[in-house]
Amino acid sequence: MHVPDGFFNAAVSLSAGVVAAAGVAVCLRGARRELDDRTAPMAGLVAAFIFAVQMLNFPVAAGTSGHLLGGTLAAILVGPYTAVLCMAVVLLVQGFFFADGGLTALGVNITLMGIVAVVVGWTVFRLVTGSVRSRPAVVAASFAAALISVPAAALAFALLFWIGGTAPIDVGTVAAAMGGVHVLIGIGEGLITAVTVSTVLAIRPDLVYGARGLAAPLVLRGADGDAVVTREPAAAAVPRRPGWFLPAGIVVAALLAGIVSFYASSSPDGLERVAQDKGFIGQATDHPLAEQPLADYGDAGGIPVGVAGLIGVGATLAVGGGLFFAVRRRGRDEVTGLESGREEVSA
């Protein structure tokens, strides 16, 4: 659902840019509390994984395809603030390296695919897991949250198009079309999210941010009736670095982008199909970087899509990894400064 240049007037594009910038600024501060020795390296991997899976368009209806948005998946794995930053990194790499998503529409894309999808997905996830504390509940909540987040972002697009779209299309028509096709895409989103979360839970449950604290302690009663806690809650476990999980995840992302991407559906995605059917696809303008070699994932420069995908995974990992470690270091420095201040006051 990458919005191209030309769909929105200058006022909406600028306003969405301001919202996106403000949201990223808030998330930069919030991510300092989420990023630790587990989530900082995981966040870079999650961004690279989302980039890779977004290349894998899957058919959802005759002549229409969809792809992962990834905001809910990122929120569950590394936290909602960090998830918005993950999506911003992915969209920046796609926009500037691969001419995927308009540059003037970058604020719109971050707002829709980052902020809206993450907020809605994380809210649904927390509502479902709030009263049920088990791994199956986390997986089921992952599916439901991801499914709902996609049509929510699509309806937000329809709202923005009603406010400042460049074509005189009835908002109800756009909303119905966008909502309908993106419910189908949301099912695919939910399945991918649930399978990914379930896999990580099975291998390294401590790396799933949304599952921290969900495992209740096992309590046994002694002969005198006193309760004895024999297993600590997950939240109390000592944080471990991702270790071998990180290179293994990079290999998976590379295989998806480098090999599986050759088999992705070539049909237009949900937004493009709706724009064609409703007559506003002609409002899209050429991307200013459409002639660079990696544009359209290598098609402009005759580069195989798998090679372009590998470059994209590497670029996303580098940009995201650098950002997340910098944010982590800033948060650690703030904690150290506070502790030093307390010691000076105590002295």
Of 120-129, 228-237, 326-335, give the range with the top mean pLDDT.
Answer: 120-129
| Cross-strand bridge partners of residue 61 | 64
Q: Which pLDDT score, from 0 to 100, does residue 219 have?
A: 52
- Helices 270-278, 171-203: axis angle to 10 degrees equals 170
Residue 74: inside a domain: yes
**How many structural domains is the chain composed of?**
1
Residue 243: inside a domain: no
Give the Cα separation of 190 and 87 in Å (integer): 17
Q: Which pLDDT score, from 0 to 100, does residue 332 have?
A: 76
Neighbours of 255 (CB within 10 A): 16
Closest to 161 in 3D by CA, of 178, 148, 146, 147? 178
Residue 244: inside a domain: no
Task: Render pLDDT for 264-301 as a digit per residue (tens, 0 to 9).
Answer: 999 999 999 999 999 999 999 999 999 999 999 999 99
Residue 88: inside a domain: yes
**What's 158-198 look like in SS3?**
HHHHHHHECCCCCHHHHHHHHHHHHHHHHHHHHHHHHHHHH
What whole-number percentage of the chain has pLDDT above 90?
A: 80
Residue 251: inside a domain: no
Burial tier of 133 (Cβ tally within 10 Å: 0-12, 13-18, 19+): middle
| Range of the structural domain that residue 162 is part of | 10-212+262-341
Q: Going by C-beta distance under 8 Å and a sequence separation of 6 or more, which residues neighbour residue 237?
A: 206
Task: Render pLDDT for 91-108 as a digit per residue (tens, 0 to 9).
Answer: 999 999 999 999 999 999
Average pLDDT, the chain: 90
The CATH number that applies at residue 190 is: 1.10.1760.20
Task: Render pLDDT for 150-205 as a digit per residue (tens, 0 to 9).
Answer: 999 999 999 999 999 999 989 899 999 999 999 999 999 999 999 999 999 999 99
Residue 232: inside a domain: no
Confidence of residue 118 (pLDDT cuts 50, 70, 90): very high
Burial tier of 17 (Cβ tally within 10 Å: 0-12, 13-18, 19+): middle
pLDDT, greater one: 272 or 219:
272
* Type of residue at 100: D
102, 120, 338 from 138: Cα distances, Å: 35, 16, 35
Residue 85: inside a domain: yes
Q: Which pLDDT score, from 0 to 100, does residue 222 have?
A: 55
Give the Cα separation of 276 and 174 in Å (integer): 11
Q: How many CA atoms lie within 13 A of 240 on its CB side?
A: 12
Residue 4: inside a domain: no
Q: Which pLDDT score, from 0 to 100, does residue 344 have?
A: 56
Torsion region of 4: left, alpha or beta (phi above 0 gives left; psi -120 to 50 gives alpha):
beta
User: What does pTM read for this prediction?
Assistant: 0.90
φ/ψ of 294, rounded to 5, equals -85, -5
